[in-house]
Chain A
Amino acid sequence: MGKKRDTLGLVLVLASAAALMVALGMVFLYAPREATMGDVQRIFYFHVASAWVGFFAFFVTFLAGIGYLARGERRWDILALSSVEVGLTFIAMTVITGSLWARPVWGTYWTWEPRLTISAVQLLIYVAYGMLRASVESPERRARFAAVYGIVAFVTVPLSWFAIRWWRTIHPDIMTGGEGMAFTPKMGYTLLVSLVAFTLLYATLLRQRIRLERAADVLTRLRLRAQNIAK
């Protein structure tokens, strides 16, 4: 097998490093100071970017689940579980940044604001997905169950989103009735760059996680072969 240079992985690492640096620069230097909230608002860019990535990762898992059920090939399963792990990190970031933002601005660590709430829901689903995988012994069954759960879970997320939003329009949280943010074009560009940077970061981490899982598979196969020879 030998050591191969992972060019794609390297490119991704460099690209996301560069993009993140640009994003950081824009967030702190280019984007204007927000009128009502002040500098704390700058967390918004990473909060929204990680929320987007969290959802996107879930979408990838959904597609990978369909791919696995259709083809039965391990690589779809690897994609699904890798996307969940990486997505979990981003969703956790969403929830944490949301909480950190809420405290100085609204005086509370948690608000049932739609985006934050749906992120919390996705977080729970991700965790459930992980627990499901951990609880099934046979690798083939694990992949199949995870695929089905990924599909049915993803499908309920848009429904949850609508339900939460309507709920919040009827019972607005005193804290977040309307975003209360003055949005300027400069903020728009910064947000866009942040989204791109985080998506690149997701791709980088995803690639590494996939390679890690493939290596684990090779190890398992070698171990089994060694055991058989020993018999």
Chain B
Amino acid sequence: MIEVRELAKSFGPRAALAGVSFSVAAGESVAMVGPNGAGKTTLLRILATLTRPTSGAVYVAGLNLARSGGQARRHVGFLSHHTLLYEDLTAEQNLRFYARMYDLTDGPARVGELLERVGLAERRHDLVRTFSRGMQQRLAVARAVLHCPQVLLLDEPYTGLDPDAAQVLTALLAELMERGCAVLMTTHNLERGLASGGRMIVLVRGRIVHDEEQGVIDPATFPEIYRALTAI
């Protein structure tokens, strides 16, 4: 579902990513850990077609982003630090807007279904600006999965998430993966990464320094290895 080959991204003279290669299969979940400034957000933004790489090839859902970036967008969901929600619109108006942007044929039905799922159905006609942070995050999750993406990218999704929202997110992720969605999540919190239970990739200063199946990782010894990797 995701295939990255020799991906590099520089901002002027500064290299944010320096030759990253990996792939994620359908139904697979990957946690990308690394210290701040490692390039995790940059990598996600490239996969989400928000930024263009300096060099390298990226394939999402089988499409080459350099050539068919526009089409690839239909298959990608992105949960960012920001909520990407219009504060001056109601929850329902926000989701309906995005449903139309993604050309969803059953827009209103899908919106209703998701609002129920994230527990915001009673507040559907309230302005997002009146929502608590946890409610906004739940709505943001709904927005990210609205169009049933085949690839879901999450940038530090659990940071500052309240327990309710965290539960909703975990449940949704499990569902999506069962349906064959590929999930790539970044975090700078090692415990969180280990808890996700999937594969772990360690990104340090724009390079992958470790790529391991969860089953192989011993949660007891890994923190030591991680500290060594990131101290370089």
Contacts and interface: CB of A to CB of B under 8 A. Distances in A.
Is A in direct contact with B (CB under 8 Å) within the complex? yes
Interface in A177-230: 217, 220-221, 224
B60 to A, nearest CB: 22
A139 B12 CA distance: 6
Interface in B11-33: 11-14
B215 to A, nearest CB: 34
A138 interface: yes
12 contacts: A138-B11, A138-B12, A139-B11, A139-B12, A140-B11, A140-B12, A217-B13, A220-B12, A220-B13, A221-B13, A224-B13, A224-B14
A220 B12 CA distance: 10
How many B residues touch the partner, as a band? under 10
A153 B50 CA distance: 27
A138 B42 CA distance: 14
A217 B12 CA distance: 10
Nearest to A218: B13
Interface of B: 11-14
Contacts of A140: 11-12
A139 B13 CA distance: 9
Interface of A: 138-140, 217, 220-221, 224
Contacts, number: 12
A139 B11 CA distance: 7
A42 to B, nearest CB: 48
Nearest to A225: B13
A106 to B, nearest CB: 50
A140 B12 CA distance: 7
B199 to A, nearest CB: 29
Contacts of B12: 138-140, 220
The 3 lowest CB-CB distance pairs between A and B, nearest first, are A139-B12, A221-B13, A224-B13
A146 B13 CA distance: 19
A144 B139 CA distance: 34
Contacts of A138: 11-12
Contacts of B11: 138-140
Contacts of B13: 217, 220-221, 224
B14 to A, nearest CB: 7
Nearest to A138: B11
A213 B205 CA distance: 29
